[in-house]
Homo-oligomer: A and B are copies of this chain.
Amino acid sequence: MTIDTEPALSASFTEALEKFRAAIGAEHVATDLPTRQEFADPYSPLEWTDYVPPAVLQPASTEEVQAIVRIANEHGVELWVNSQGRNNGYGGSAPRNPGAIVVNLRRMNRILEVNEEFSYVVVEPGVSFNELYDYLQKHGHRLWADCPDIGWGSVIGNALEHGFGYTVNGDRANSVCGMQVVLPDGELLRTGMGAMTDNPSWHLSKRGFGPMVDSLFMQSNYGIVTQAGIWCMPQPETYLTGWVTIEDDEHLPALLDAVRPLMIDRTIPNYPSVFTASGALAVVGKRRDFYDGEGPIPFEVSKAIVAQIPNLGMWNMRFALYGRENTVDAQFENIKEALSVVPGITVTGTKMRGDALDVSALDQSGKVQAGIPDMEMLNTSDWVGGAKGGHIGFSTVLPLTGRDGRRIIDLVRPASEEAGFDYIGGFLLRERSMMHVTLMVYDTADEPAAARARDLCGDLVTTTAKLGYGEYRCHPSNMDTVAGTFDYNDHAMLRFYERLKDAVDPNGILAAGKQGIWPQRLRQTR
């Protein structure tokens, strides 16, 4: 493949670019190759140009976003919108459809309100988790905002993509309360109680009068969210970060089954993660620090490595408790008792006062479960070493049971190893379900490895669907494949999505193909 350094632009496209420059300032309309590559899939080998956009726009306000969509409608150009565009394991900023202009909202980075009385913030989509955390710290706010493992992403963007975090507000889509949205025709909408001018409950009560439409603007191409309320936690009196290890892989199912009742009744109030030793090791080191053989690290070698490292099991789980010290102590006691049925388990906890966290004494889990973002986990992409690390994420939704956990591992681990990848996997636990997340890590300079990773993800979509499991999110290259697995009643859901798409975006200018939803003019007959 050759790099498309100067895309052939139609007259209408060129004219649209001129109007974009007039609307948001020429300096915020980029067509140079380095910028275009920056907003392509960052984990694609440089030779691959399938997700390099022809231009990048960076508006600074809701009004500029409205101007952009109006121009796009006039000229029939396609837009692909993201907030930070940093979810690199799922393609970063890369547009699904070649030719779509990237609209990146990093410049819309205002923190519009911090409300301690009601524990929420209102932010624009360019605000990152890091920025929000720093702001709350700097101003001494007693609020903990949920954050992911890697703090550079957008607070709003991640919630819109159904991202999960690790505090009590870890179900981020469910922690959004009250949005402002630019529709594909430029119309401005406020959702929930915000649909009434100056209603004081906009960010307090999720529903207005009539159907709640907020979720329509998540994982979709129906509108551009330009601000939203995000519920946070009040700083608790006491914080406990818990750590669980099990010695043997074979007891993972017992752990998952023992945790389920604690999740359903919220004895564990946050969203815990369960991960392999390799997942923990990849945060703090590189593969070669532990093993220098060819091919995936053999299972027995993993066991030997784990045996030498204190506080590390073949599987590890983190969880957290928050509140008055008496309730935290009681919950911790109940959790230890409930988990004691799992063979070879250890359960430990580090307890601190919420108003006097010793951050230096917290490990990565202790930090993110207190809403303290960092960038440490970005190391994972460099696990295999090489010129520039990359990975693709593969994420499957499962019932929270040991049986389902075992099934997915027995499918994904051998498939990964067969394709030459160490199995770096884990489970993000929710009330009744879990997400199995696995990363295929490669050096982006190693084109065959990158190709194997992408192919593996595609294959796994199909094989997991045969077991009845679906993905919650994916790389653009897999969106149609995943959408295709949601097949009930001849893909009734996708056909419903398409009907909504045609109603809200008749010209099909916004994020064509996102989540497999194409506008009428680009739709293939199934």
Q: Which residues of A contact B (CB under 8 A)?
A: 117-120, 162, 168, 173-174, 177, 183, 187-191, 193-201, 204-205, 207-220, 222, 231, 233-234, 236, 260-261, 264-267, 269, 322-324, 326-327, 329-331, 333-334, 397-401, 404, 430-433, 465, 468-474, 482-483, 485-489, 492-497, 499-500, 502-504, 515-517
Contacts and interface: CB of A to CB of B under 8 A. Distances in A.
Contacts of A211: 215-220, 222, 497, 515
A458 to B, nearest CB: 15
B205 A430 contact: yes
Nearest to A491: B195
Given A205-B430, A211-B218, 11 more contacts: A187-B495, A188-B492, A197-B468, A197-B488, A200-B399, A210-B516, A211-B216, A212-B215, A213-B215, A233-B265, A267-B324
7 closest A-B pairs by beta carbon, nearest first, are A503-B503, A195-B493, A205-B433, A211-B220, A212-B215, A326-B330, A204-B432
Contacts of A323: 265, 267, 334
B432 A205 contact: yes
Given A204-B399, A215-B211, A196 B468 contact: yes
Contacts of A487: 195-197
30 contacts: A118-B260, A118-B399, A118-B432, A173-B207, A189-B493, A194-B488, A195-B494, A196-B486, A198-B468, A199-B469, A199-B470, A200-B398, A200-B468, A200-B469, A204-B433, A207-B219, A208-B486, A209-B471, A209-B483, A210-B493, A210-B497, A211-B219, A211-B220, A212-B218, A265-B323, A267-B323, A323-B334, A326-B333, A327-B334, A499-B504
A45 to B, nearest CB: 27
A188 B425 CA distance: 36
Q: Is the interface of A mostly helix, strand, loop or mixed?
A: mixed
A183 B265 contact: no
A162 B398 CA distance: 28
A197 B492 CA distance: 11
A433 B118 CA distance: 9
A209 B265 contact: no
Contacts of A201: 397-399, 433, 469-470
A486 B331 CA distance: 43
| Complex copy number for this chain | 2
Nearest to A502: B503
A496 B189 contact: yes
Contacts of A204: 399-400, 432-433
A234 B432 contact: no
A264 B432 contact: no
A211 B499 CA distance: 13
Given A471-B209, A472-B209, A269 B266 contact: yes
A173 B487 CA distance: 26
A488 B178 CA distance: 13
A208 B493 contact: yes
A433 B492 CA distance: 36
B482 A209 contact: yes
Contact of A209 (B177, B216, B486): B486
Given A399-B118, A400-B204, A496-B183, A485 B196 contact: yes
Contacts of A168: 266
A219 B210 contact: yes
A147 to B, nearest CB: 19
A487 to B, nearest CB: 6
Nearest to A195: B493
B209 A515 contact: yes
A265 B234 contact: yes
Nearest to A400: B204
Nearest to A487: B197
Contacts of A400: 118, 204
A270 to B, nearest CB: 12
Contacts of A193: 397, 470
Contacts of A216: 211, 213, 216
A219 B213 contact: no
Nearest to A473: B209
A473 B210 CA distance: 8
